[in-house]
Amino acid sequence: MTDLLPYVAGVPLVDHHCHGLVRTDLDRTGFEELMTEADTVSPLGTTLFDSLLGHAIRRWCAPVLDLPAHTTPDDYLARRAELGATEVNRRFLATTGTTDFLVDGGFRPELLTDANELGTLAGARAHDIVRLELLAENVLRAGTTAAGFAADCAEALAKHTTAVGCKSIAAYRVGLRLAGARPDDAEVHAAAGRWLSDVDRSGAVRLADPVLHRFLVWLAVEHRLPVQFHVGYGDADVNLAECDPLLLTDLLRATAPSGVPILLLHNYPFHRNAGYLAQVFPHVFVDVGLATHNAGFRGGALIAEALEVTPFGKFLFSSDAFALAEHYHLGTLLFRRGLSDFLRTAIEADTMTSTDAAHVTDLIGHANARRAYRLDS
């Protein structure tokens, strides 16, 4: 890895998928539990600092907290506690060069800063992404009926007047092996009825029904709101075998005529499959967020693989930062380094000019996201 290409170092970013930050200080276990997708530190393994991500934190985050590069985990966490969560969050956000954050506030909202607070901390614009399953669960909690569920969801969605997109976590609940067609009213009615009965019986409000996930996606499409999908890599709750983006093919084929963007998040280790979808479906966009910082210095290899067949007009930046401000710093830095390495290789192979590379940087860094989410409208 060499120096960043100047236009990559300087490009303003739109982070099209990210989350809030913890406001409280963390002990070592608490920190490690938020570092990777592992729920906790295994007694059978070693510290999670023994990973490419752990090394990246010690290398790239330590200096932001006035520590030498490669400091020890304990020294790092001591300094972090000394500065306090708010200062730490502010410092890391200040490094990102991000002008717009598209914030998915639907996971553990009680723990994390919301979009407004994040934007204020960062001195940047923050936009809301509506978590579709949470919307439906809130509709249910507020009181609905099997017959009224669809209209109540539509009404709830219409209230999100400032939202720039929606997100589906069908991957976490039922997997991505979804049918394509919009479920008709009778199907939605029946599925909502089943869900209401289940909730009555179990007391647990957790949507996990292929018809209803699909209905919500179509609802967003009908509201002309871009739809993000969690795809691929996630925590142990996911059944990754059912999270290959190719399983969405029928739904992508069915939604293509709408012209509403579908944005496939993360995608690792299926990022090449995602790239194929981005090439052949006019409304599909992809990223390799989350993996970019988890894979440390290997992030560039992932970007290069993802861009083999993805048109440059269909690839986006996201950090998928969650809870730890380090994720914002690393998600952004390792993305810039990975993209820079990719472009430099292309330039050195004389298959791209510097002008081309700067244009590609603009597309991926912000222009594609601005266009897909109509951020300037």
The distance of closest approach from Cβ of residue 185 to its own copies in the complex, given in angstroms and rounded to an integer, is: 28
The distance of closest approach from Cβ of residue 101 to its own copies in the complex, given in angstroms and rounded to an integer, is: 22
Q: Which is nearer to its own copies, 158 or 349 (CB)?
A: 349
The distance of closest approach from Cβ of residue 192 to its own copies in the complex, given in angstroms and rounded to an integer, is: 28
Q: What is the DSSP string of 152-172?
A: HHHHHHHT-TT--EEEE-HHH
Nearest to 310 by CA among 282, 356, 272, 275: 275
Residues in the chain: 377
- Angle 366-371-372 (CA atoms, 0-180°, nearest 5)? 100
Q: Is 31 helix (H, G, I), strand (E, B) or coil?
A: helix
Report how far residue 83's alpha carbon sits from residue 323's, in angstroms, rounded to the nearest whole number: 17
The distance of closest approach from Cβ of residue 291 to its own copies in the complex, given in angstroms and rounded to an integer, is: 7
Q: Which is nearer to its own copies, 119 or 300 (CB)?
A: 300
Q: Which is nearer to its own copies, 197 or 345 (CB)?
A: 345
Q: Which is nearer to its own copies, 189 or 314 (CB)?
A: 314
DSSP 127: E
Which backbone phi and psi does 96 adopt, to 5 degrees? -80, -30
Report how far residue 185's alpha carbon sits from residue 88's, in angstroms, rounded to the nearest whole number: 49
The distance of closest approach from Cβ of residue 53 to its own copies in the complex, given in angstroms and rounded to an integer, is: 8
The distance of closest approach from Cβ of residue 218 to its own copies in the complex, given in angstroms and rounded to an integer, is: 18
Q: Which is nearer to its own copies, 199 or 256 (CB)?
A: 256
Report how far residue 289's alpha carbon sits from residue 266's, in angstroms, rounded to the nearest whole number: 5
Q: Which is nearer to its own copies, 17 or 189 (CB)?
A: 17
H helices of 176-318, in order, are 185-202, 210-222, 249-255, 271-280, 291-294, 299-306
